[in-house]
Structure 1
Amino acid sequence: MKFAIALFSPAHAPSSRRALRFAQAALAGGHEIVRLFFYQDGVHSAASNVVSAQDELDLPAEWRAFVAAENLDAIVCIAAALRRGVLNEEEAQRYQRPAANLGAPWELSGLGQLHEASQLADRLICFGGH
């Protein structure tokens, strides 16, 4: 089965953790992840400056390690990211901001990537949102 996974919830919401565990279980079960798409507050899961409490799971670091280790296509919605201050080096320079907080393995792109992923996958699974 080919899955596209969309994450809408903030970095430390229970649904973010469920999304990560689902993605890990899907790959472990022999399934394919066509694309991960981080949208709305889900973009915070890709930000490198999120600091977790010492007694909590560092979900952004877990996501980053998982995406890198599995060489997954992980897209962060550019419009949602800009609105929330999640910037790669290019966007930080473009908007004259002092620092970037989004790097590898993430890619900024548009909502069309979610549409394409839903067309390529057998199932689109969404976590979080309203």
Structure 2
Amino acid sequence: MKSITIAAIIAIVLIGGAFLLTQRGVPQETTSADTVSVVGGKQIIEIKAKGGYSPEKSVAKAGIPTVLRFETDGTFDCSSAVRIPSMGIERNLPPSGATDIELGNPALGTLEGSCSMGMYPFEIEFQG
């Protein structure tokens, strides 16, 4: 009976630990208001890259100089390789740090991107 109780406790600890470890890399939803700012006449859109992109969807203003800033922190998955096919952009991000990508003055519409494998998409809707 004692060995069954010990085995059950070990199983619960292992399952709990596995759950906590898998949740560490899951991006948390944030709103565009938290991640889009205008500094010195330049719009900065911040996206965290680790286990996907957060936020997955952003809303920004069209027609003003824009920088897309990717923040990484111990990122070693495919989200460290960014693609924006409509602009011909392919960029490898460092494991930790910030990487700025100049987008020019985006037109109205939606800009779509993903990791190099296409597993983790993101989009930015540029509005008037």
TM-score (norm 1): 0.29
- Structure with greater proportional helix content: 1
- Structure with greater proportional strand content: 2
Greater radius of gyration (CA): 2
Q: Which has the higher contact order (CA 8 A, sep 6+)?
A: 1
TM-score (norm 2): 0.30
